[in-house]
Structure 1
Amino acid sequence: MPSLKSLLSLSAALLLSVAAAHATVRTETGLSESRAGITETYRLNVPTEKDLNTTEIRLVIPAGVALTRFQVTPGFTRTVKKNADGLVTEVIWKGKVAPMEYARFFFQARNPAAPGELSWKVYQTYSDGSVVAWDDTNPEQGPASKTTIK
């Protein structure tokens, strides 16, 4: 049986990993993996990490993913960009997420038919116009969120 000290250490590590998670895309149940070819409900979690309001969140959809619908997010407007085939390539939510708050955006998508890794690029705009890119381009800002398709 684990000691109280080891349980507290594990709890602290889990809290740190959540706190350092930044903008993330996970399945509705919080997993970072899904199955090939199925329709999955995903959630984009975006915390405000500055002393400014977040005013816009832009999500770039990975190749091979087909968005099918969105859950309504009160207080936000949503626009989508589509490619020549009519597939959604980007989603932009505009609204306000105050300091010490976070927003969740739910959407359904059909996963690619082949196994692999999806990289969800998120761009978070603050009220001063600054943009934090969660897209693997700047190690100081943060990585893109990844989903393993099995």
Structure 2
Amino acid sequence: MLNCAVLLVCSLLLAGIASAHVVVYPQESTQGSYEKFTVRVPSEKDVPTVKVEVKFPVDAVAVSRFEPKAGWNYQISKDADGKVTGVVWTATGEGLSATEFGDFGMQGKVGDTATAITWKAYQTYKDGSVVEWTGAADSKTPASVTTVKAKPAGAAADNHGATAGHTAAASSGTSNTALYLSIAAVVLAALALIMAMRKRGAAS
């Protein structure tokens, strides 16, 4: 029991440490897929986070769009070829306090030959201090990494960039939802009929 308790405490501590890092989701993707990436930024100090910069490895991902976020504006960086190499979000108000976190959305295409996307992030606090989330996985300030899997053999992308496998999965999910709703409607109708018959029996 003591060993189990120790393991539980350690896992909770590790989870707390991990959650305090700047992380980009999803943490796993597929070559050639179009993704919405979310940069999750927790504030770890008593002063607010007022700026977040993320740099993109252009050989692994092509980020092209950014989701507007209330209370923040953003500025895009490009290289000589016009490729987007990074973005800086800057707070227009107080920023993120010590008890808050923020999600910053962006969209892009995963490289066709990418095996991993390493996101280098720089978190600036109101007191001017900067935390560089650029280190190795076992460091105190690790860079967030999205692991990239190979595209399934025979998978073809549609006009919107989704693979056939993703489209089929979405269609299957939609079909299942419709089926479940139909079953639920039949069950509710049967229950209503039974209740009505009971009321008529009681009245007679």
TM score, norm. by length of structure 2: 0.63
Aligned counterpart, 1:68: 64
Residue in structure 2 matching 1:20, options 18, 21, 29: 18
Aligned equivalents of 2:113, 2:15: Cα separation in 1:
29
Residue type of the alignment partner of 1:60:
K
SS in 1 for 2:15: helix
Contiguous gaps of at least 5 residues in structure 2: 150-204
Q: Report the Cα offset of residue 141 of structure 1.
A: 3.9
Aligned equivalents of 1:10, 1:115: Cα separation in 2:
36
Q: Report the Cα offset of residue 101 of structure 1.
A: 0.5
Is the 1:133–1:141 Cα contact (8 Å) retained in structure 2? no
The number of residues matched between the two structures is: 142
Aligned equivalents of 2:139, 2:9: Cα separation in 1:
25
Over the matched positions of the two proteins, sequence identity in percent amounts to 37
Relative contact order higher in (CA < 8 Å, ≥ 6 apart) = 1
Aligned equivalents of 1:59, 1:99: Cα separation in 2:
21
Is the 1:132–1:141 Cα contact (8 Å) retained in structure 2? no
TM score, norm. by length of structure 1: 0.84
| Aligned: 1:47 with 2:42 | yes
Q: Report the Cα offset of residue 10 of structure 1.
A: 5.9
Q: Report the Cα offset of residue 12 of structure 1.
A: 7.2
Residue type of the alignment partner of 2:71:
G
Alignment CA distance shift 1:10-1:33 (3 Å)? farther
Aligned counterpart, 1:142: 141
The root-mean-square deviation of aligned C-alpha atoms, in Å, is 2.4
Contiguous gaps of at least 5 residues in structure 1: none
Aligned counterpart, 1:90: 86
Aligned equivalents of 1:10, 1:71: Cα separation in 2:
38
Aligned counterpart, 1:38: 33
Residue deviations 1:94-140 (CA, integer Å, cap 9, x gap): 01111110110011110011141111000000011110000017x76
Higher helix share: 2
Is the 2:116–2:147 Cα contact (8 Å) retained in structure 1? yes
